Chains A and B, each alone.
Chain A
């Protein structure tokens, strides 16, 4: 491990950043003051969470019933929070747009969940998990938050096992682990390739138990379309019943958004088709800051694009990189050959070559960028898409020879089946083909240490917030964050806010409620009355192409400026040429889609502005203008070690940039090296 001897957390190891460049000049308004997350306790980093839990006020059990909590989202973050707050006795209302909470996008996670249990005695510890996560995030996450995440990680596994989550076990009946990209210890707990499903079912069952107990009421097929803010505090939401079309007002003492990530802004991604930014974006328009929106994680191991019709991309779990070896032909001429006919000496195992100590297990941003480099060089494999072959091999031949086909089958069975079903090729015989795809977003609504946004009473958890992953995310850390937030963090922090409650009664005739409701109704009427000629889907595809081209794996100043203009035009066309058939008072999927797409368009513009401002490469975000001599990403800590928190500047106005300095006390910032 690097020199991280100072674990005290008592001295600041870096000074405040000072940005010199201003590429985004004219696209934003700078805020005069710096933003501070005053909530993080100071002192020894290992004591901060304990201190906070002690400081936070309690709510008497008899009073909890009188407090209403709205939770939007039933994924790992929302489901676990609903279960826990329900158990505690609060009156919880839970919302999701699917027909059942069990279908939230978390269900699709494959690889696993990290926890610092050190069951393998390979030197793992809370500190090491913390260190790896901060480093993996390229020093753009908050250290107090990440330390807390590492600290509660072990409890998550205990909780899930007790719920009956069937994790992989060894012959003694004890839990098994594997390792994931970017780390050298085995700390990832998994349930074959379906970890997300098993964890989510655990949280869902715990939540359904509370539904039966009457503490949680679930509203399925409901979409939240607006936050209600009264006297500066979040007091409820406006939701549409997706079956009847009815616009409903739900009031509460506190609102939690656990509505997931917005990777679908790229149209093609590994996200579920319904994943969207609407809940966060509507909150943003109401005043909540959107932090680091341009931080997108590109996942290196997805099934490559095969044609225009494609509606989504499918991830092959990163755990495959434990046993699979990645290569491309050394010679361009071999790219069209059957890979089995290419002899060993003509293969370039490029990750093992360039990064000998991590090899195929380098972090995602590096694995992704190198795959792109190989294809850009003309050494990609698979069908031509545009001017390139966009694929590299992920080869299991060695693993099968070493472990036997049965052992490989047991570890990765369903992933191999899925690959075969989609591509029509058998990966036990021919190497898989993979290519990077948009997977996860590290940006999201700004929250303080208590997971509260800058709007009091509006809390944000899971992928919808920004705080824990920095500019990049290590594998198996999103599931950990979702469950840490929902089971252990939020229930302890929301208490302090609720201790002030119950809050003043409001009713549906309050002007702020009426305003929120009317704005929702007017938007819906507008979508239906434009009467143009293009479907919402066609706008979405066009936006996705712009975003991937100019705000994807590699970004440049010129490209981003161009993208902003293109998005502005697209937005204008949306409002004049959209076509949505059907009515508002019924189930209308085109109408749902229209609302989500326009929010994506607005977000896309902000993402490009954020990317334009950040003239440095870090994590999955590679700025062409900022690279080392040998083409690696180059960060500029002295300029950009800050969180960019954007405030909505009003319709047609410029967004306002608030900066929160990232000051480290337990970890010294280092250039990352995996060589």
Chain B
């Protein structure tokens, strides 16, 4: 396949950026989207132009590093991560627009790379169970009902990629937050800190400049791990309970 790529180039956080057009040739359908970008970068390097910077690592859809807006959609046209998107989803001669995540709380670092450290700070504000090493009880001494454990698992699959934020017109991280609240909230181990956790995480979320949730639902449709929208209801419920309890 031959393609035209329109890519956001930005030297660093301080500079302003612009879209640039590149032609790439000889792309195979079996390539992943990132292998297609590797091909472009080899060609740019040969021509003496600086390659396009983008984030990636596992290339297996699990680390959450890769993060591209492709034709206006987070991770592109399929429900998956960018690294698992294959070129068979595109057609010969197509023009593809590639931009970094769009959200005030995710400032651009360079080209297609953004700073997602706000997510780490949200976890720091309560997204854990406080158990010191060595003080854990025997694992089977606290059974967890299977349906609850299953739900916990289903939402614990969040990879922290930030597609939900990038897709949301408000730049809200409610899906990411809801996933963690629900994961720990469904398990017996998560109960003692349930209220302080939600209060702390929501406060940090707001402080980071993420927007509020207005139930648009773009987040859940962009999420590569199919985190369901109802985690946001869970988040809101837990937050109400926490506020009532004076947290």
Contact = CB atoms under 8 A, between A and B. Distances in A.
Interface of A: 80, 83-84, 87, 98-103, 105, 107-108, 117, 119, 155, 157-164, 166-175, 191-192, 194, 196-198, 201, 204-206, 208-209, 211-212, 218, 220, 243, 272-274, 306-307, 309-312, 314-315, 418, 421-422, 424, 487-488, 491, 533, 535, 537-538, 579, 581-582, 586-587, 589-590
Nearest to B139: A161
A83 B30 CA distance: 41
Contact of B123 (A204, A312, A418, A537): A204
A578 B115 CA distance: 30
Contacts of A167: 149
B139 A175 contact: yes
B73 interface: no
Interface stretch (B1-9, B152-160, B206-214): B152-160
Interface string B25-64: 0001011101100110010011011110101111111111
A197 B32 CA distance: 22
**Which among A99, A159, A194, A487 has the highest number of chain B CB atoms within 10 Å?**
A99
Contacts of B146: 169-173
A99 B157 contact: no
Contacts, number: 212
Contact of A166 (B46, B123, B135, B149): B149
B45 A309 contact: no
Contact of A579 (B31, B45, B125, B142): B45
A272 B133 contact: no
Contacts of B143: 169, 172-174
A159 to B, nearest CB: 5
A208 B123 contact: yes
Given A169-B146, A169-B149, A170-B146, A208 B57 contact: no
B140 A175 contact: yes
B128 interface: yes
**Which among B56, B84, B109, B156 has the highest number of chain A CB atoms within 10 Å?**
B156
A108 B149 contact: no
Given A100-B117, A103-B63, A582 B50 contact: yes
B12 interface: yes
Interface in B46-97: 46, 48-51, 53, 55-65, 80, 84, 86, 88
Contact of A208 (B53, B88, B124): B124
Given A272-B58, A314-B60, A164 B187 contact: yes
Nearest to B187: A164
Contact of A161 (B30, B35, B65, B142): B142
B246 interface: no
Contact of A102 (B11, B35, B64): B64
A162 B120 CA distance: 21
Given A166-B156, A169-B149, A311 B57 contact: no
B55 A99 contact: yes
B144 A173 contact: yes
A198 B86 CA distance: 26
Contacts of B117: 99-100, 220
Contact of B138 (A158, A212, A538): A158
Contact of B127 (A117, A208, A491): A208
B133 A157 contact: no
Given A194-B157, A311-B38, A314-B60, 6 more contacts: A80-B133, A101-B120, A157-B139, A158-B139, A166-B153, A167-B149
B41 to A, nearest CB: 8
Interface residues on B, range: 35 or more
Contacts of B140: 119, 174-175
Interface of B: 11-12, 28, 30-32, 34-35, 38-39, 42, 45-46, 48-51, 53, 55-65, 80, 84, 86, 88, 109-110, 113, 115-117, 119-120, 123-125, 127-140, 142-146, 149, 152-153, 156-157, 159-160, 183-184, 187, 189-190
Contacts of B58: 103, 105, 107-108, 272-273
A201 B84 CA distance: 21
B183 A164 contact: yes
A421 B133 contact: no
B120 A191 contact: no
A581 B110 contact: no
29 contacts: A87-B133, A98-B57, A99-B65, A100-B64, A100-B120, A103-B63, A103-B65, A105-B63, A119-B140, A158-B138, A162-B131, A164-B184, A164-B189, A166-B149, A173-B149, A174-B140, A175-B140, A192-B153, A197-B62, A206-B131, A208-B123, A208-B128, A272-B57, A273-B59, A309-B28, A418-B61, A422-B84, A581-B50, A586-B12
B152 A309 contact: no
B120 A208 contact: yes
A109 B80 CA distance: 19
B133 A83 contact: yes
A205 B149 contact: no
Nearest to B45: A535
B144 A197 contact: no
Contacts of A157: 139
Contacts of A272: 57-59, 63
Contacts of A205: 123, 127-129
B125 A273 contact: no
A386 to B, nearest CB: 17
A309 B39 contact: yes
A536 to B, nearest CB: 9
A169 B35 contact: no
Nearest to A308: B28
Contact of A243 (B57, B109, B119): B109
Contacts of B132: 87
Contact of B31 (A164, A194, A309, A421): A309
B63 A108 contact: yes
A107 B62 contact: yes
A587 B113 contact: yes
A157 B142 CA distance: 13
B131 A163 contact: yes
A162 B136 contact: yes
Contacts of A117: 139
B116 A487 contact: no
**Which among B49, B50, B123, B127 has the highest number of chain A CB atoms within 10 Å?**
B123
A117 B119 CA distance: 35
